[in-house]
């Protein structure tokens, strides 16, 4: 990887890091600026010099982006480079917890589809085995805002009843199921119009082909995300090991910087 074959300090140019991933040298500098990479060492003339620690950081960050997205990937790397391993691991744990919740919701919806399609012309709704939720309670359950739920209602995804006296929205068991399905598909990048069609199909048990296709696609996405998390974890573990091996107070490999104008050792 980048020609690093011994424990001797090898200095790398921004181009060397960028070339491995097919990105620009400006992107490498931006990642350093944003805290995703450790601060580069500088030659007396001000040129950046990177080491295998920076190369490992870049591999880790790009793998994290594939698994967790830009925001969380950046959060994890900034925490590590600031010496806060606990904060980085907490962000990783949140990502795994979200993936587990998505799998659970997907399985629940899949079971509902199987039930609804088990016989021709069957229209079933979950039993009303719990008290209805207010809009605030449902928003907290899903981790969204009440405004989001009102928007879903406005486009026809949700159809809550209104309390006769107060006029407040009341979300029964079937409404909660519809909201959970909408939330799942929204995170999968589906437009509201498509989600409305899918939810209406499962609500009426009429023509579930689009629903089944959407769920199959989302399951593939979840699997890909899980595999990406495995890859990111392996790269992150290697990076943490390099940080742990670095001398106290120094997050880049020690040694004199190369003479300005000389080629980087790669």
pLDDT tens profile 40-88: 988 888 888 999 999 999 999 999 999 999 999 999 999 999 999 999 9
User: Average of pLDDT values for 210-225?
Assistant: 86
pLDDT at 254: 37
| Cβ-proximal residues to 162 (8 Å cutoff; 6+ apart), any chain | 168, 169, 170
pLDDT at 128: 53
- Write down the mean pLDDT value for the chain: 83
pLDDT at 250: 53
| CATH entry 1.20.58.1030 includes domain 99-221 | no
pLDDT at 211: 72
pLDDT at 188: 74
CA dihedral (149, 152, 153, 158) positive or negative: negative
| Cβ-proximal residues to 241 (8 Å cutoff; 6+ apart), any chain | none
Q: What is d(CA 108, CA 1) in angstroms, rounded to the nearest whole number?
A: 44
pLDDT tens profile 249-264: 555 443 334 434 444 4
Whether the per-residue pLDDT at 265 is higher than 90: the answer is no
Instruction: pLDDT band for 149, please (50, 70, 90 cuts).
Output: very high
pLDDT at 245: 87
pLDDT at 158: 95
* DSSP reduced 3-state for 2: coil
Q: What is d(CA 169, CA 72) in angstroms, rounded to the nearest whole number?
A: 34
For CATH 1.10.1660.10, list the domain ranges present in the chain: 14-94+226-245, 99-221
Range scoring the smallest mean pLDDT among 109-113, 131-135, 205-209, 235-239 = 205-209
pTM for this predicted structure: 0.65
| CATH entry 1.10.1660.10 includes domain 14-94+226-245 | yes
């Amino acid at each position: 990887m980048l020609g690093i074959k011994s424990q001797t300090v090898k200095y790398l140019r921004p181009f060397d890091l960028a070339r491995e991933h097919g990105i620009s040298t400006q992107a490498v500098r931006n990642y350093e600026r944003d805290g995703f990479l450790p601060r580069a060492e500088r030659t007396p003339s001000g040129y950046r010099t990177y080491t295998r620690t920076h190369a490992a950081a870049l591999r880790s960050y790009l793998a994290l982006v594939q698994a967790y997205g830009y925001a969380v990937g950046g959060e994890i790397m900034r925490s590590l480079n600031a010496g806060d391993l606990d904060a980085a691991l907490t962000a990783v744990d949140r990502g795994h917890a979200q993936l587990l919740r998505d799998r659970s919701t997907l399985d629940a919806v899949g079971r509902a589809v199987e039930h609804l399609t088990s016989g021709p012309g069957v229209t079933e709704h979950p039993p009303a085995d719990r008290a209805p939720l207010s809009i605030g309670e449902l928003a907290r359950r899903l981790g969204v805002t009440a405004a989001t739920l009102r928007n879903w209602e406005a486009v026809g995804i949700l159809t809550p009843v209104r309390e006769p006296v107060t006029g407040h929205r009341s979300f029964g068991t079937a409404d909660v199921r519809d909201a959970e399905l909408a939330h799942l598909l929204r995170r999968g990048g589906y437009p509201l119009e498509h989600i409305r069609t899918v939810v209406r199909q499962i609500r009426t048990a009429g023509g579930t082909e689009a629903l089944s296709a959407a769920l199959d696609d989302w399951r593939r996405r979840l699997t890909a995300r899980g595999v990406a998390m495995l890859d990111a974890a392996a790269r992150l573990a290697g990076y943490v090991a390099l940080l742990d091996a670095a001398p106290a107070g120094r997050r880049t490999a020690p040694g004199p910087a190369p003479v300005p104008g000389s080629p980087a050792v790669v």
